[in-house]
Amino acid sequence: MEYINASSEGYFVLLGFSKWPHLEVALFVVILLFYLMTLIGNLFIITLSYLDSHLHTPMYFFLSNLSFLDLCYTTSSVPQLLVNLSGPEKTISHAGCMTQVYFFLALASTECMLLVVMSYDRYAAVCRPLHYNVIMNPRFCQLLATASWLSGLINSALHSSFTFLLPLCGHQVDHFFCEIPALLRLSCTDTRVNELTLKVMTSVFVVVPLLLILSSYGAIARVVLRMQSTSGLQKVFGTCGSHIVVVSLFFIPAMCIYFQPSSEKIRDQDKFIALFYTVITPSLNPLIYSLRNKDVRGAVKRLMGWE
């Protein structure tokens, strides 16, 4: 195979959905709509949580972090995807590809850890209600959020550096955004160490967080089963159910992609799975957290002067 240094070429070609050119117009319209929903919905959550003093609680502090994270997460890949879908030019600069790899992985890793923190917050609220305000004090909440962001940024810095130090035998990336597994397939050298490191760190940032979340909700379930109050049960399901749905929408697609053998057919499926968790999930999170949430509905009414 001919050796081509992508950095000297100055660009990568994102093959994306070029195998299905008849789908590109429809995909452009659908993705644009979901991207606008993501921007509007998450900005709504952030603004509402900031303006309404009743939402100045640990739960909405973390939810605001998640909304900001989703805004950045989807923006790291979707605008470039829309540009590529809108015309024949499907390139991204080498610097742009490096930036996309770094921020996409950093934000995805951060979201894994932040979802763990949010499940711990729900555990403390349900299982330790008398000590909740002491446990989830503002300083501790800020510490947990900061640790989530730093862990994602550091994890991504390591993987991104190792990936872009590899010599590449081409510049055609078989994906709609720059992703580490797709870039590793372009390498001219043995990438087994990189792949093993990626699997280990994926386990740390996907499997371990998922186990911690399941442990938290296992403890919550035991408390719920002992509850006699119907209103108490409704409150628990109202606050925890939304988080469980969001966790499922994020972790299940991620595990489908990173823990299955690689083949051309599976890689094609992975593009549509990746489209789900990069485009659709961030747009659904604000709806999931707000539609059945009495606190959010009450905050909207107060903001609009309806009560």
The reply to whether 42 falls in a domain is yes
The CB-based long-range contact list for 150-154 (8 Å cut-off, 24+ gap) reads 151/109, 151/110, 151/113, 151/205, 152/105, 152/106, 152/107, 152/108, 152/109, 152/110, 152/111, 152/112, 152/113, 152/205, 153/106, 153/110
The reply to whether 1 falls in a domain is no
The reply to whether 150 falls in a domain is yes
On whether the CB atoms of residues 298 and 54 are closer than 8 A, the answer is yes
Query: In 10 A of CB 91, how many CB atoms?
Result: 17
Which pLDDT value is given to residue 292? 61
Distance between CA atoms of residues 265 and 239, nearest Å:
40
Domain ranges, residue 44? 6-304
Which pLDDT value is given to residue 107? 93
The reply to whether 237 falls in a domain is yes
Rounded to two decimals, the pTM is 0.87
Q: What is the CATH number of the domain that holds 12?
A: 1.20.1070.10
The reply to whether 126 falls in a domain is yes
The reply to whether 147 falls in a domain is yes
Distance between CA atoms of residues 156 and 214, nearest Å:
25
- Encode the chain (307 residues) as per-residue pLDDT tens digits: 344 444 445 788 898 888 888 888 999 999 999 999 999 999 999 998 898 888 899 999 999 999 999 999 999 999 999 998 888 888 898 889 999 999 999 999 999 999 999 999 989 988 898 999 999 999 999 999 999 999 999 999 988 888 888 888 878 888 888 888 888 888 888 888 888 888 888 888 888 898 999 899 888 888 877 776 666 566 666 667 777 888 888 888 877 776 666 555 567 777 888 888 888 888 888 888 776 677 777 777 787 776 6
Number of domains within the chain: 1
The reply to whether 292 falls in a domain is yes
Distance between CA atoms of residues 140 and 150, nearest Å:
15
